[in-house]
Amino acid sequence: MNWILAAEGTGGNSNVLLPPTYELIIGTIAFFVIFFALSKFALPNIRKTLEARTESIEGGIAKAEVATRSINYFGSISPTVI
């Protein structure tokens, strides 16, 4: 119904793209409440998980480098020596 009135031009200075002031205030308060809750409870768990994942990936890379070096070393030895 509001769209029809806006299209007809009735309603004076109403702007369809600008929400009412009370809606902006409630939206801003809700945003900060959710932002605070997520930063307080979810963000530490996310950081902990990412750090554990980084450590496991770096450990896997280190193991792969050691395995590659040992393969290169034993691959360079002639079969008659073994």
* 3-state SS, one letter per residue, for 53-81: HHHHHHHHHHHHHHHHHHHHHHHHCCCCC
With b for 16 or more beta-carbon neighbours within 10 A and e for fewer, the 52-63 pattern comes to: eeeeeeeeeeee
Give the mean pLDDT of 42-59.
95
pTM of the predicted model as reported, rounded to 2 decimal places: 0.50
- Rounded-to-10 torsion of CA 67, 70, 72, 76: -160
What pLDDT, on the 0 to 100 scale, is given for residue 6? 53
For residue 53, give both structure tokens.
């994942």
Note the pLDDT tens digit of each residue in 19-45. 999 999 999 999 999 999 999 999 999
Spell out the residues 6+ positions from residue 19 whose beta carbon is closer than 8 angstroms to its own.
27
